[in-house]
Amino acid sequence: MASAPMSHNEVSQEFSVNKLIRVGYYELEKTIGKGNFAVVKMATHVVTKSKVAIKIIDKTKLNEENLAKIFREVHIMKRLRHPHIIRLYQVMETEKMIYLVTEYAPGGEIFDHLVRNGRMAEPEARRVFRQIVLAVHYLHQQRVVHRDLKAENLLLDADNNIKIADFGFSNEYTPGVPLSTWCGSPPYAAPEIFEGKHYDGPRADVWSLGVVLYVLVCGALPFDGPTMQLLRSVVVSGKFRIPFFMSAGKQANLTSNTLYLLLISNFQGDVTHN
């Protein structure tokens, strides 16, 4: 990692990230994301005026395991080049902080888009979903599994094209060698993960793709529950409902069949039309 010049705002650990106004050649602006150990800021390059997103990670709050995950995320993102995957431009590091400078997606999260506008019309959902599938296919060709595919990690650029983000749970894999780490968001997790079994990484991503498609066209989760135990029961059963507005027409049937292939062929379960 390249060493970043210390900003005059980062003279001590007491200074909060919100008081930073500049990192390297980037002027920090509004906060666009927050996590347990990181804040994501929109920023502008002082020379080119181009917009980027900067993930600011406080190393002092990380144990060795979490720090290793950050370095793994960086290692993976550095080698990814795909039009529908967020690009990592630069990594800077100081004694206490790590800065990941990435492509900025002004359209924000698919999740927020759905909250504002409701479920997508099926032609638009198919267009968006195709881009997601192309990107995930590329990841698997690179022997990388994402393991946290969900609406919150799918961003939109200025033209409403997909950018997959957040590779914090991603990992490299060897075909035929199962994975064992519980990862991702429970409503998007595959049954074998809930059952505590070793799992095939790409197949787990494919299950999450099925959940994503359902969310796009239905505006709701196919599997949900008020407690983790009930959610586990629903996911492991593989039962979900196809809403009435998807039950007629060739195009609707195409979407329903795709959901069946992703969620049911991947794991035995039942579909109920409602």
Q: Are 81 and 125 within one domain?
A: no
Q: How far, in Å, CA of 213 to CA of 197, rounded?
A: 25
Q: Are 52 and 74 within one domain?
A: yes
User: In this prediction, what percent of the chain has a pLDDT beyond 90?
Assistant: 74
Q: Are 99 and 122 within one domain?
A: no
Q: Are 76 and 208 within one domain?
A: no
* DSSP SS3 for 53: strand
pTM score? 0.86
Catalytic residue among 58, 112, 148, 224: 148
The CATH number of whichever domain residue 62 belongs to comes to 3.30.200.20
Q: Are 170 and 185 within one domain?
A: yes
Q: Residue 253 domain-assigned?
A: yes
Q: Give mean pLDDT, residues 261-272.
A: 54
- Structural domain total, the chain: 2
The reply to whether 148 belongs to the active site is: yes
The CATH number of whichever domain residue 243 belongs to comes to 1.10.510.10
Q: Are 132 and 220 within one domain?
A: yes
Residue in 246, 220, 34, 208 with CA at minimum distance from that of residue 115: 220
Q: Residue 118 domain-assigned?
A: yes
Tokens read off for 197: 């079994």
Domain boundary among 71, 103, 135: 103
Q: Residue 6 domain-assigned?
A: no
Domain that holds residue 147: 108-267
Domain boundary among 103, 127, 143: 103
Is the pLDDT at 3 greater than 80? The verdict is no
249 pLDDT tier (thresholds 50, 70, 90) = low
The pLDDT value recorded for residue 264 is 58
55 labeled binding residue: yes
Q: Are 70 and 197 within one domain?
A: no
User: In this prediction, what percent of the chain has a pLDDT beyond 70?
Assistant: 83
Q: Give mean pLDDT, residues 215-232.
A: 93
DSSP type of residue 179:
B
Is the pLDDT at 253 greater than 70? The verdict is no
173 pLDDT tier (thresholds 50, 70, 90) = very high
Exposure string over 4-31, b if 16+ CB within 10 A, otherwise e: beebebbeeeeeebeebeebbebbbeee
